[in-house]
Chain A
Amino acid sequence: MAKMTLDQLRALRAKKQEELERRNVEGKDIQVIVGMGTCGIAAGAKLTFDAIVAALEKHNIASRVVVRQTGCMGLCYVEPTVEVVMPDMPPVIYGKMTSEFAEELVVKHLVEHSLLDNHIFDRPAVDIVKH
């Protein structure tokens, strides 16, 4: 491995810190992020958002979850998109997540720790990765 500069070390630490924070936002270890750009909204992201919140309540997992909105994730062709970040699961961006799939998302991914195979599209697009 090439020699690391102090700047790289600091960058690495910041990245790790970010990962830690992502995993543990005020005691809540699951993040669900709904893409709410023009493309997402046009495809029904507002309904998806609402249905996810309702499903989290229904399955008694709401207290562990932070639900956020973001702009376009760069996957306009499969909106609405939903990213899920949680411990022991790879970060996944699900596409074509219209509201009728909200409950399946909560039950399969968040509760049963399995993936919704037909909806996996990406990890975060380079579009929205902060440098």
Chain B
Amino acid sequence: MHFTVGDFVLDLAQNSVEADARAIEVAIDEGADGLRVRVADDGRGMSASERDRALDPLANSGAKHPGRKVGFGLPFIQQAVELAGGTFSLESVLGRGTEVRFFFPSNSVDSPPLGDVGQLFSALISLAGNAEMRLRRTRSRDGLKYEITKSELEAAVGDLGSAASLALVRQFLASQEEG
């Protein structure tokens, strides 16, 4: 099971990459009542029956990994949300894309910690593939709000695969989190 909410988000974004998404949007909104997360992509999407199977940890199609019978990404999130008394939704249209939303209430001891958002965002922009990535972030406690895209970062530091560029991006994103 994942430790932080950021781990869940990275897992979802990796799914989007593997679904050949060209645009991925991640929004993390930290409010007084809890944490809202949205991960949406324009990847290949799922039919209604595929969507249901994606939520069953023991019903993997084996398409991504031959012989693999399990798929824990989405079930992990659903379980964590249920434990914490939050909400979870997974909507997908075949050929159009997929959107996952979930909410962890702040008054539940079972809500996982958010984790380091700067670290999460830098991991997101260096995921494989050429998908554009739009990252939105708000935090009500101190009014923090910013939005950044992968292409903006790429234009600023050059190739995002380079460890040198990534270190710069990491620094930049950490500074955004300071508000």
Which residues of A come within 8 Å of B, CB atoms? 25-26, 28, 32, 36-39, 41-42, 44, 46-47, 49-50, 52-54, 56-57, 61-63, 65-72, 74, 127
Q: Count contacts on B: residues with CB < 8 A to the other chain.
A: 32
Q: Which B residues are CB-close (under 8 A) to A46?
A: 6-7, 10, 119-120, 123
Set of chain B residues within 8 Å of A68, measured between Cβ atoms: 126, 128, 161
5 nearest CB pairs, A to B: A62-B163, A62-B164, A65-B163, A56-B163, A57-B167
**Across the two chains, which residue of chain B brings its CB closest to A49?**
B123
Contact A25 B2 (CB under 8 A): no
* Selected contact of B163 from candidates A26, A37, A42, A57, CB within 8 Å: A57
Q: B170: which A residues are within 8 A, CB to CB?
A: 50, 53-54
Q: Which residues of B contact A (CB under 8 A)?
A: 1-3, 6-7, 10-11, 14, 18, 64-66, 68, 71-73, 76, 119-120, 122-123, 126-128, 159, 161-164, 166-167, 170
**List of B residues within 8 angstroms of A63 by Cβ:** 162-164
* B7 near A41: Cβ-Cβ < 8 Å: yes
Q: Are B163 and A50 in contact (CB under 8 A)?
A: no
The answer to whether B123 touches A65, judged by C-beta atoms less than 8 angstroms apart, is no
Residue contacts A-B, CB under 8 angstroms, 28 given: A25-B161, A37-B11, A38-B14, A38-B71, A38-B76, A41-B2, A41-B7, A41-B14, A44-B3, A46-B6, A46-B119, A46-B123, A49-B126, A50-B119, A52-B163, A53-B167, A56-B163, A56-B167, A57-B163, A62-B162, A62-B163, A63-B164, A67-B161, A67-B166, A68-B128, A69-B128, A72-B65, A127-B65
